[in-house]
Amino acid sequence: MADSIRIAPSILSADMANLQRDLDRIANADFIHFDVMDGHFTGNLTFGVDVLKAVKRVSDVPVDVHMMVTDPDHMADWFADAGADIITVHWEASTHLNRTIRHLQERGVKAGVVLNPATPVCLLESVIEDVDMVLLMSVNPGFGGQRFIPGTLSKLRELRALCELHGVAPMIEVDGGVSAKNAAQVVEAGADVLVAGSAVFGSDDPAAEVELLRAIGTAALRGAE
């Protein structure tokens, strides 16, 4: 488990007309969470490779690309070429998940798998030793500003137990409805990377909100040890 909690503000909640300004406001974040939606897997359409290239030009914060697409094998290399530091693909959309993970890692990109809220953790049994990150969705993917699904906490505990059983420690990320109100619970259940969109970019001081989430999460982490 990490020594401190890492915070990944989701630019899905940023002001696209002032993206560089908003990126500057979260320069203290650990990752930039970059949601890719193709209009099919989620019914929403978001960012392409040109936006990722622009983000990489103006920010030194590593970019965590979450691919909510129906054919990740077709698109993943585009985002690796554009500078993604981490790419996660959905179990529900991946026909050859082991091959996809291995291919991205061979390209020098950290690779992970995402589970939707209704997808059980036990399905990760065959890949848990191979991934750099597991992302649990705590809302149904597609739109920002949704409420956290409480059942995510039990899934986190199950995932942490699976990792311990296999003797591995991938990053465990949670995305959806995370804020200062529930960050401690999420960390205590097993997460060490918190995605926060509305909570960060909807605040008066995004940088301060990042620090607050990190402090709450890290205190919960140390209390759980």
User: How do residues 110-135 score in pLDDT, each as one tens digit?
Assistant: 999 999 999 999 999 999 999 999 99
- pTM reported for the whole predicted model: 0.95
> Which residue spans within 5-95 are E strands per DSSP?
6-9, 32-37, 63-68, 86-90
Tens of pLDDT, residues 131-174: 999 999 999 877 666 789 999 999 999 999 999 999 999 999 99
Tens of pLDDT, residues 5-32: 999 999 999 999 999 999 999 999 999 9
Q: Which of 22, 30, 35, 192 is catalytic?
A: 35
| d(C-alpha 72, C-alpha 64), whole Å | 15
Domains of the chain: 6-224 (3.20.20.70)
Q: Which of 30, 38, 64, 175 is catalytic?
A: 175
Does 132 qualify as catalytic in the annotation?
A: no
Query: Where residue 224 falls among pLDDT bands split at 50, 70, 90?
Result: low
Using DSSP's 3-state secondary structure scheme, residue 210 falls into helix
At position 81, the amino acid (one-letter code) is D
**Residue 104: which H helix or E strand, with range?**
helix 97-106
Does 35 qualify as catalytic in the annotation?
A: yes
| d(C-alpha 126, C-alpha 80), whole Å | 24
At position 61, the amino acid (one-letter code) is V
| d(C-alpha 214, C-alpha 218), whole Å | 6
